[in-house]
Amino acid sequence: MYKKYLFMKYAECGENLSIGQGANISIEKESSIKIGNNCDILGMLIAKCGSKITIGNYTTIRGNSVIGSAEGITIGNHVIISNNVHIYDNNNHPTPPHERLRLCESGFYSDLWHWKHSESAAINIEDNVWIGERATILKGVSIGHGSIIACDSVVTKAIPPNSIAAGNPAKVVKKIDSENKKNNENERGFY
């Protein structure tokens, strides 16, 4: 109950929100998190640097998954985010070697470690997407509606609608037939 209280206090939450024991929320001032109706959250949501995380209706984020935003992450309706998935719209730290040296020498809890010093780009995950276990979605990515991201994939570029993507870096390995084609085949007796 306490976890749900935290979500209700710090996020704009729709009806019938289910919060699991392992769920957590971390939000800085001027950032926002909005969760739609009938969602199930077991992972962690982190919003920093004035970012906005928006989650649609009937979406689940399973255990040990982390959604971390310094810019903006939009997750559509009917999205399944499996266990141990990491979705970050930022690098978490600067990437140039000389800046990483400064980072370490500044002490491991200095301001230089804050996400505001890293590169970031918004992420958009459209409706009816399924993201498999241990997948990683990186900054600037969009995933088209109806797509599947295979387990252990690392998504570094846009994935078109109705695609199955797999690998590191993830590449489209198959197109998914549209629902209309499947329904038409079933009506004709094909299974």
3-27: average pLDDT: 96
- The number of angstroms, rounded, from the C-alpha of 15 to the middle of its chain's C-alpha atoms is 21
Is the pLDDT assigned to residue 185 strictly greater than 50? no
pLDDT at 1: 77
State the pLDDT at residue 90. Answer: 96
Q: What is the pLDDT of residues 139-175, one digit of tens each?
A: 999 999 999 999 999 999 999 999 999 999 999 999 9
* Span 41-98, pLDDT tens digits: 999 999 999 999 999 999 999 999 999 999 999 999 999 999 999 999 999 888 889 9
Residue 138 has, within 13 A of its CA and on its CB side, a CA count of 12
Q: How many whole angstroms separate alpha carbon 144 and alpha carbon 96? A: 31
**CA–CA gap between residue 143 and residue 153 (Å, rounded):** 13
Residue-level pLDDT at 179: 62
Residue ranges and CATH numbers for the domains of the chain are 2-187 (2.160.10.10)
Q: State the average pLDDT for the chain.
A: 92
Q: Give the model's pLDDT for residue 181.
A: 54
Most confident of 51-60, 98-107, 113-122, 176-185: 51-60
Q: Could you give the strand order of the β-sheet that contains 130-131, starting from the edge strand earlier in sequence?
A: 18-19, 40-41, 60-61, 80-81, 130-131, 148-149, 163-167, 170-175
- Inform me whether the pLDDT recorded for 188 exceeds 50: no
Mean pLDDT of 121-131: 98
Whether the per-residue pLDDT at 183 is higher than 80: the answer is no
Q: Which two tokens stand for residue 8?
A: 């209700």
**One-letter-per-residue 3-state SS of 92-136:** CCCCCHHHHHHHHHCCCCCHHHCHHHCCECCEEECCCCEECCCCE
